[in-house]
Every structure is written in C-alpha cells, then in structure tokens.
Structure 1
Amino acid sequence: MAEEQLDYGTFEATLEKSRKLEADLQVHPENYKVLTGDRPTGRLHIGHLFGSLQNRVRLHKLGVPTFIVIADYQVLTDRDTFDNISENIRQLTIDYIAAGIDVTDGKTFIFPHSHVPELNQLLLPFLTLVTNAELDRNPTVKEEIAASGQKRINAGMYTYPVHQAADILFCKGSVVPVGKDQLPHLELTRTIARRFNDRFAGKRPVFPEPQPLLSEAPIILGLDGSQKMSKSRNNAIMLSADEDETARLIKKAKTDSERHITYDPEHRPEVSNLLLLISLASGRKPEQIAEEIGDGGSGQLKKLLTDSLNEYLRPLRTKRKELEQNIDYVRDVLRGGVAAAREEAIKTLEEVRTVMNMTI
C-alpha cells in the first residue's frame, strides 16, 4: 500500500461540519450511532462531568443509540499498574449512571472492550491498513508518550489509535464526541474505514466514516491553576467526594492576591476558573457572579463555589451511594452491555470475514 499523508483538515472546517451534525442530531437522532468512552484509570471528577459526561447524557436523552466503551486494555499502554482495573470499571459505570445515563432504555450500553473478543479481532486487519510512519507521526500519540514519562515505549502505545478505530467501528459508530486534541485519532479511524471499504468492500461499504462532534464545553483547570484537572495531580474534585471533602479542596484552591473579583480568563485564570465552575453549577453567567462578589475576595468566591457545587452534585452523589450499595446491579449493567456489544461485533466480524474471503 502506498503511503499517503493523513489529512486532518482545518479545525474551522471540522467545527462547521460538527455544527451541522449537531443540528441534524436534534431532528434525526435515529440516523446515528454514538461511540464514546474512557480508560478506567480512576473515578471521574467534575472536569469530566462538565467537559464530556454531560454531553453524553444529552445525546443519550435525544434518543441516539449509544455505546460507551471502557477501554481497559489501553490502560496497559502507558502504565505498569493494573491492580485496580476491575474496580475502576465498576466505579466508572457508577459515575455514568449517577450522572444520568439510563441503561434501561434499550439503546445505551456500557462495556469493557476486553470482554468483547470479536471487537478486538478487528485490530489485525486494521493494522494492515496503516503504516508505521503514520502511527509514529500521530500528534496525539506523541503527546501521550511524552506525558507517560516512559523510557521504554511498548507497541501497544503506537497501535492505540488502531485499537480505538476497532472500538468505534465494531458497532459502526457514526458519531464520536471528541475534543480538538483527539481529532488525529478519529481521522485515523476515518482513514481505516475508507481504506477497508476501498480495498475489500467494493461498491457496498462495510464501515461508515465516523464524524467528530466537537464539544463546546469549557476547559476546566485544576484547583492548583494548572492546565488540566487530574486525579494524578491531586487538583481535582471527584464526583464521589463528600461535601466536607469538597469544601476542603476548594478552600485550598489557588487564586491571586487581588481582592476585587473579576472574570478575566486571560489575566486571572485561577479566579476565572472558580467563577466558571460556579456558573456551570448555577446556570448564571460568570461575569454576573463576579460582579455580585465584587470586593468579597477569594473567601466569598470559594464559599459560593462550595455551596453551589455541593448543591448541584447532591442528587448525583445520592445516586452514587445507592449504586455503591448494589454492586450486583452494576455488574449486571456491564454484563448486559457486553452481551449487546458482542451481538453487534459478531455481526460486523462476519461481514468483515465475508468481504475478505475468509469464511469457511
């Protein structure tokens, strides 16, 4: 196969297509299938909630069939520990359901991809459709390698985007909610789908070329003012935290020395981040909140954030506690998700084998 340069296109063009997709989803949700998910590296925090989880709940409530993959194999690509993967899978599932994902609708399924062998069998034919050079220059992979701090990079890290393609295409996912940083991964998935169809399927394509649905969710900074809220950096408020723990964490949050509170993300990122969180929890504009606090300083800012966030998260946390007392139900949800995912994957794999002339 002759090597070709992947075309990520312009971000502006992708954003425009995403807006048109969003408009059509509102009218014809039944025409699409969403694939989304997370790696089970720990429980979710409020950055996940406001950054991606609420968007998934919104799409799910529109009636779009949704597969939520818990990418447990991918945990092994950039870390040595695997002791907590099973528990993390269960905790992710609890977070999803507590946040509003309704797995009883018959259209929404949560599953770990390690339990769907047919999905993972797609990895081999997909690997024949990309070159080492394409994997090596994927900017997202480069960033993840740098962030992992590993001296020895295992092959799983490089094939991560191809495995992600299998996660998306096994159920013929047509919509993938992503951030800007994940666009290269999705473009590779689109390329794999296109190359598979061209090489094996002729005039009857097997796979759709999934479209990115760009999130317009704001970027949530860590409580320490760093670029990203993260459990590993100890700068996050977990969804599972209680109200007292939330108050303690917010009390330690970084602000600045200026007493008068203003919303200025460029020049006052830490203060503006806390105002943004109040806005997301209360539905009011951050500029309005800043004006109300005025000379109240960081003390009043943090108190308002504590009260707003605890009130907003109270129903979610109540649901979480109920689910943690009913782990058998959580396991049943996962088993049901695995069964539905395998049903989809078996059909897709049979179709793949047929067009590749591998039936017996």
Structure 2
Amino acid sequence: MAEETNVSNETNYSEPNDNASFLAAVERSKKVEADILVNPKKYRVLTGDRPTGRLHIGHYFGSLQNRVRLQNLGVPTMILIADYQVLTDHDAFDKIAENTRQLAIDYLAAGIVPGDDVMIFPHSYIPEANQLMLPFLTLVSNSELSRNPTVKDEIQKSELSVINAGMYTYPVHQACDILFCKGNVVPVGKDQLPHLEITANIARRFNKKFCKKGEPIFPIPTALLSKTPMIQGLDGSKKMSKSLGNTVMLSATADETAKLIKKAKTDTERLITYDPENRPEVANLLRIISLCTNEEPSAIAERLGEGGGGALKNALTEALNETLRPLREKRAQLEKEPEYIRQVLLSGAEKARAIAEQTLKEVRRAMNMEI
C-alpha cells in the first residue's frame, strides 16, 4: 500500500493570485528536494510530454535536464508520452506515432537511460491506467473542472470552435497518469499547479471513500517546482513555442541555430547590460547563455561590454551549439536505429502496464468489484 504524506487538508490553487497556496507549494517542494538527495528510492517521479512535435531548448533547460538529474540521483522515473491528450486540442493525429518516436529520441539523446526504474512509454498502451478514469470522474465536480485556470488557458490557446469534453476532463486523465504508478513527485511549473491540485484531491477522496483507515492506496503527489527561470522565445516577448517559431529545436543543426539566433530581438544600445525590466529581450538572451555556461547573466553582460547585439548573438550561438553538440551527435545516431526506439517504448509500456495492473487490482478490491 502507498504511504500517505503529511498533507492532510485539500488545497486549492484555482483562485487567481492565490499566493499563500503557491508559497505552501514552494515549501513542500523544497522539503521533497532535500529529502530526495537522502532517500531517492522513497519517491517515484511521473513526468512527460504530449507528442505534438520535437522538443526545443525551452524543454531542454526547463525539464529534460532535471529529469536526467533525478534519474542520476537514483529516483525511479516514469516518462509518459501523453498521446491520447493530443486528441483534445490538436487535429494532427496522423503524426502522433512519428512524434512519439521523436520524443523518445529527444529523451535518450538528452541522457535518459531506460531500465528497471526508468521507463518511457505512451499512455495509450496502458489500458489499466485509463480504466481509472471512470472512478476518478466520480470524485470531482463539473464546477471544479470548469474553473480550473490551466484548462481555461488551454481552451483559449486552442482556438477551437467547439470545445470537446476531453478538454475539461484533461486534469482527471492526468490524475490517472500520475496515480496508476503511485507517482508521488511531479516536476511542474507554477502554471501546472491547478492540475496537480485535482490529482491530489482525487487521491485523498479515493483513499477516504474506499480505503480502510490507515491503508490508503494512493500517495498524495507533491509538486517539484522548476528552478529554471522563465525562458521567453527568441522574440523576447512570448513563451517559447514551436507554433510561434521563436525557439531552437534540439534537432536543429549548428547552422540552423545560428540563423535562428541571428533573427533574435535585441535593442539598439551598444553596451550590453542585464536589465530584465528595461531591456527584456537582451536579458532573455543573457539568461539562455547563463543556462549554457552557468555564469551569472550580469557577468556575461560585463564580459560582452560594448559589443552590442551582434556580440550577444554570437555568444549565444557559440554557447548553445557547444551545449547541444553531444546531444545532437547522439540524436543523429539514434535516428538511424528505429527498431531500438520502438523496443524502448514497448519495453517501457510492458513494465508500466505491470504496475498499472497491480494498482487496478487494488482499486477493484477497495471498491468491492472483485469477482
């Protein structure tokens, strides 16, 4: 049975500007981060992406590096490719299989090493996990799903003329993904906390309604909040995104990277300074260099001096290409091994499904559905 964490009350991040809830999440994240260093096997991380295309440098600095770090610390890590969720707001279902393979290649090239404790798998291959959807839906209300700010934002971004029910139940499906493997740590950014709130509440409600006292089935997952500063796109004003064309894909060549960075927005001042408030575009490029070199952005600015935007872009191109060079070399090699990629996914799905089967047995038993 899963061990209940010390979070006893239901939390709510759904209210706008709920700073108290966010600060509480930050404190929980810090405690888990510290404990992971001492007790890595106590945790199981669930993380992943939707297969809407290849990954870019925002993904690399924002999540991939952290996944590799957690894996290397010895934390059991489940990396889910959320193929079903593409259907909620994308029409590109004809590319799901290829995008799934490309995601797997990006993960492996970044340093993920599949094994007994590290799995990469598409969640459409785990039917037992998806069977949790029905009981979980009975544990949330329509109003909870409708007022979820992350869902509202995703609906707005989708620009769909007709909003399908999958958009509203997306957080519940995500709860299935996290809880089927009893994931108790989920790396997220601040904007994903409302989704994790629903997962935590479903776990609490299931344990309270169906489980014997002191014998909960599901752990209460904790957010592991990203420490990476927000990276804007190369335009300096919007979130890095494939659809906006303001990013650098991990699969891009060194020359393609140079051409993209050459178009990045800066300003007309020759003296490079780190001033996020007054010079956001320049500050953003300095932050990306900082992520590559581990220097402080202000120190990079001082080094560049009066080199202007040209020197800044050259420095970014050099730093980014050098950082991504080993990843890109490994990626090119993996592109030539489609059967290996397929086996990684199938093996991950087989192991994940075994976990899901055991969880479903426990759920059936708790709900008095065993025959």
User: Which interval holds the TM-score relative to the shorter structure?
Assistant: over 0.9
1:115 aligns to what?
Answer: 125
2:85 pairs with 57, 74, 82, which one?
Answer: 74
1:279 aligns to what?
Answer: 290
Distance in 2 between the 1:16 and 1:194 partners?
20
Residue 63 (1) aligns with residue 74 (2): yes
Residue 265 (1) aligns with residue 268 (2): no
**Residue 186 of structure 2 aligns to a residue in which SS?**
strand
Letter in 1 for 2:42: N
**Residue 160 of structure 2 aligns to a residue in which SS?**
coil
Q: CA deviation at 1:5?
A: 8.5
Q: Which 10-residue stretch deviates more, 336-345 or 7-16? A: 7-16
Are the equivalent residues in 1 in contact too, given 2:10–2:201 (CA < 8 A)?
no
CA deviations on 1:36-76 (whole Å, 9 max, x unpaired) are 00000110000100111111111111000010110010001
1:7 aligns to what?
Answer: 12
1:130 pairs with 103, 124, 140, which one?
Answer: 140
Any stretches of 5+ residues in structure 1 without a counterpart? Answer: none
**Residue 175 of structure 2 aligns to a residue in which SS?**
helix
2:105 aligns to what?
Answer: 94
What is the alpha-carbon root mean square deviation over aligned residues? 1.2
CA deviations on 1:69-92 (whole Å, 9 max, x unpaired) are 100100011122211110110000
1:208 pairs with 206, 211, 219, which one?
Answer: 219
2:188 aligns to what?
Answer: 178
**Residue 207 of structure 1 aligns to a residue in which SS?**
coil
Distance in 2 between the 1:277 and 1:229 partners?
12
* Identity score, percent: 66
Distance in 2 between the 1:262 and 1:289 partners?
9
1:154 pairs with 135, 141, 164, which one?
Answer: 164
Any stretches of 5+ residues in structure 2 without a counterpart? Answer: 1-8, 14-19
1:234 aligns to what?
Answer: 245
2:3 aligns to what?
Answer: none
Letter in 2 for 1:112: P
Distance in 1 between the 2:11 and 2:41 partners?
30
Distance in 2 between the 1:217 and 1:302 partners?
21
Letter in 1 for 2:81: I
CA deviations on 1:290-338 (whole Å, 9 max, x unpaired) are 0111110000111111111111110000000010000110000000100
Q: CA deviation at 1:224?
A: 1.3
Letter in 1 for 2:130: N
Aligned length, in residue pairs: 356
Q: CA deviation at 1:278?
A: 1.0
Letter in 2 for 1:357: N
Are the equivalent residues in 1 in contact too, given 2:11–2:21 (CA < 8 A)?
no
CA change 1:151–1:5 in 2 (3 A) is farther
The normalised TM-score by structure 1 is: 0.97
Residue 27 (1) aligns with residue 32 (2): no
Are the equivalent residues in 2 in contact too, given 1:6–1:134 (CA < 8 A)?
no
Q: CA deviation at 1:267?
A: 1.2
Distance in 2 between the 1:94 and 1:334 partners?
10
Letter in 2 for 1:289: I
1:168 aligns to what?
Answer: 178
The normalised TM-score by structure 2 is: 0.94
1:191 aligns to what?
Answer: 201
Are the equivalent residues in 1 in contact too, given 2:234–2:265 (CA < 8 A)?
yes
Distance in 1 between the 2:99 and 2:278 partners?
37
Q: CA deviation at 1:226?
A: 2.5
1:335 aligns to what?
Answer: 346
1:245 aligns to what?
Answer: 256
